[in-house]
Chain A
Amino acid sequence: EADIYQTPRYLVIGTGKKITLECSQTMGHDKMYWYQQDPGMELHLIHYSYGVNSTEKGDLSSESTVSRIRTEHFPLTLESARPSHTSQYLCASSGGQGLSFGPGTRLTVT
C-alpha cells in the first residue's frame, strides 16, 4: 500500500502570497512527480525528480519550483500566488510499478 502524504489538503490564499505544498512518501521511491489537474480535465505534469538533488520541469509550463533534498520529501513552492494558479495539485511517486498518488491539495487563490 502506497503511503504518500500531502499537506495542506485545502488552501485558500490571497494573491501575492508565497505558498509551499508539502509532499512526503514513506516507500523510499527515487522518482517523484507533481501533476496539476483542473476539475474534469486531464493531468498535466509540472515537475519530476529522479532522486535527491535532481529535478526537471514537466510538460506544462509552471511558475512553481520544486526541491529534492531528501528522498522522502518533494515540496512545491509558488513565490507569488495568482488566481491562475487555482487548481488541484497531485503528488505521486514510483518504485517501478506505476505511479502512486497522494490525496492532492486543492488550491484556491483569491
Chain B
Amino acid sequence: QKEVEQNSGPLSVPEGAIASLNCTYSDRGSQSFFWYRQYSGKSPELIMSIYSNGDKEDGRFTAQLNKASQYVSLLIRDSQPSDSATYLCAVSGGYNFNKFYFGSGTKLNVKP
C-alpha cells in the first residue's frame, strides 16, 4: 500500500468551475499535509498546508482535512487555464517524522 494515494486524472473542468482534488494517506499518525502545484518541466511549488481538521482557505484555494477518514482535499474555485498543472498531495510527521511522502499527482486541465 502506498503512503499517499491520488487519482492520476486527468481531471478536466471548464474555466470558472470548481476543481476538486482528493488524496488519502495510510499513516494515521501523520500531522502535516500539503498541496503542491507542478507545471510541466518545473519543480513543485507549495500552495497550501493544513495541520488540523476542517477547512483552510487562501484566495481561490481551500484545503480540507479529515483525519478520521485519512482524507485530504483541495478545492480550486473559479478555475483558470493557468491552473492547469499536476497537483501533488504530500504528508509528513508520521512514524518517520522527517520524511515527506508524495502522491503520484493529479493532472488538472482547465478548458477555456
Is the pair A42, B100 in contact by a Cβ cutoff of 8 Å?
no
Is the pair B88, A43 in contact by a Cβ cutoff of 8 Å?
yes
Is the pair A42, B45 in contact by a Cβ cutoff of 8 Å?
no
Q: B94 → chain A, closest Cβ, in Å?
A: 14
Q: B100 → chain A, closest Cβ, in Å?
A: 6
Is the pair A104, B99 in contact by a Cβ cutoff of 8 Å?
no
- Quick one: which of A39, A42, A104 contacts B102, CB cutoff 8 A? A42
A102–B41 alpha-carbon span in the complex (Å): 13
Interface size class of B (residues with CB under 8 A): 10 to 19
Is the pair B100, A99 in contact by a Cβ cutoff of 8 Å?
yes
Is the pair A45, B99 in contact by a Cβ cutoff of 8 Å?
yes
B45 nearest CB neighbor, chain A only: A101
**B61-112 interface (Cβ within 8 A of A):** 88, 90, 98-100, 102-105
Is the pair B100, A33 in contact by a Cβ cutoff of 8 Å?
yes
Is the pair B102, A101 in contact by a Cβ cutoff of 8 Å?
no
Contact with B along A29-48 (1 / 0, CB 8 A): 00101000001011101001
By a CB distance below 8 angstroms, the chain B residues around A101 are 43-45
B107 nearest CB neighbor, chain A only: A40
By a CB distance below 8 angstroms, the chain B residues around A43 are 44, 88, 102
B32 at the interface (CB under 8 A from A): yes
Is the pair B100, A103 in contact by a Cβ cutoff of 8 Å?
no
Is the pair B103, A98 in contact by a Cβ cutoff of 8 Å?
no
A26–B63 alpha-carbon span in the complex (Å): 29
Is the pair A99, B43 in contact by a Cβ cutoff of 8 Å?
no
By a CB distance below 8 angstroms, the chain B residues around A41 are 104
A-B contact sample (6 more), CB < 8 A, given A50-B98, A99-B36: A31-B98, A42-B104, A98-B46, A98-B49, A98-B90, A99-B100
